Amino acid sequence: MTQATGQLLLGAAHPAFLETFEEVYINPGSNVTFRCSVSGNPTPTIRWTLDNEIIESNGHMTVTTYTTEQGDVISSLVITNIQVQTGGEYRCIGSNEVGEVRHMARANIYDLYCWLYFLSFFLSFFLSFFLSIYLVIFSIYLSIYLSIYLSHLSGLFNADKIFYCWLYFLSIYLSIYLSIYLSIYLSQYIDLIFIAGYLSIYLSIYLSVPYVRVLQNITATANQPLVIKCYVSGYPIGSVTWFKATQALPINHRQRVENGTLTVDNVQKYHDDGDYTCTAANDKGEGMSRNVIVRIVEPPTITPFSFQKHLFRCPFFFLSFFLSFFLFLTIYLSMSVCLSMSVCLSVCLSIYLFLSVCLSIYLCLSALLL
């Protein structure tokens, strides 16, 4: 499976795979090599992951990367003495400033029981093959020996030619009869060997136990989707099931289980918070389980607020008070000045005083009615 993402940059080339690897089925203890090649501009970098965990070179895994003269990057992942625990989804990821490409393939590792049963099958097959060859050679040798021995007896007893021919044909008859009898016996024995071989293959599939990788605890946000991937290795895998407490999932329309992945839409704190269990089993029902704790947190919320009306009474009241004070002060001063001013100016001042009184009354009433 190959994926690609990126953005358009002038003079750059998106990474592209030139070589990828395929899914493998191998026995534990074997060596396997994955190889991928990526081109692009700028020169891409390659990293490897196993079940979404970055692979670093260690005692059993070695990553080698080099760049060709054409600017292509070739990377190899060599795994020695592979085990069921190191099986799973291997990814080769090539990326540069433009984007990245991903290729994934599984490494399916037979369980130890499976490997032993296949070994017993092949041993039994080769044993029956060599035993059948030995018995056929023995029957031919016995028929020849009987012919020679009977011919020798005919010479010792000076038997005539008729008696000699009779003994000779008798030896041939006995050898043919013995060969047919041994062939029938061997055919029955070989059938039993093949039945045992097929039974061993069935038992190997029946007794193989998958391996479940450790799951990390998760903190999710309420009202958001939750996705938990259960990574399982080994081969074959009968089923992958999710449980919450002791109840198998899904239990409502918000939950889905597909290919070992649990998806919960619009998670709720009091419904989806708790312990979850992923169980991988074979056809017999024997398997392995891992637990994961899911904690749901609710994001902070802001409650709308507004100022109460009585909070505005105090400012309006003081405003009306000061306006009234200045109004009366103005009236007092104007009365003393109007006596020495012209009539026109006195009229204008009187209008101003009237409007000031009206405004003061309006502000006082507004402050009292709020």
For strand 287-297 and strand 218-221, is the pairing parallel, antiparallel, or unpaired? parallel
| pTM higher than the cut 0.85 | no
For 22-63, write each residue's pLDDT tens digit.
999 988 888 999 999 999 999 999 999 999 999 998 888 999
Tell me which amino acid residue 104 is.
M
| Residue tagged 């008798």 (tokens) | 170
- Determine contact, residues 36/103, Cβ cutoff 8 Å: yes
CA dihedral 109, 113, 116, 121 (to 10 degrees): -100
Task: Supply 302's token pair.
Answer: 């802001």
For 120-163, write each residue's pLDDT tens digit.
556 666 666 666 666 666 666 666 666 666 566 555 555 555 55
Q: Which of 101, 122, 109, 116 is nearest to 2 (CA)?
A: 101
At residue 362, does pLDDT exceed 90? no
For 221-273, write each residue's pLDDT tens digit.
999 999 999 999 888 888 999 999 889 999 999 999 998 999 999 999 889 99
- Determine contact, residues 253/294, Cβ cutoff 8 Å: no
Mean pLDDT score across all residues of the chain: 76
362 dihedral zone (left: phi>0; alpha: psi -120 to 50; beta): alpha
158 dihedral zone (left: phi>0; alpha: psi -120 to 50; beta): left
CA dihedral 119, 125, 129, 135 (to 10 degrees): 110
For 55-109, write each residue's pLDDT tens digit.
998 888 999 999 999 889 999 999 999 888 899 999 999 999 999 999 999 999 8
Cα dihedral 71, 58, 89, 81 sign: positive
* Own/partner long-range contacts of 254-261 (Cβ < 8 Å, ≥24 apart): 260/229, 260/230, 260/231, 260/232, 261/227, 261/228, 261/229, 261/230
Distances (CA, A) of 166 to 86, 151, 163, 262: 72, 10, 5, 84
Residues 6+ apart with CB under 8 A from 165: none
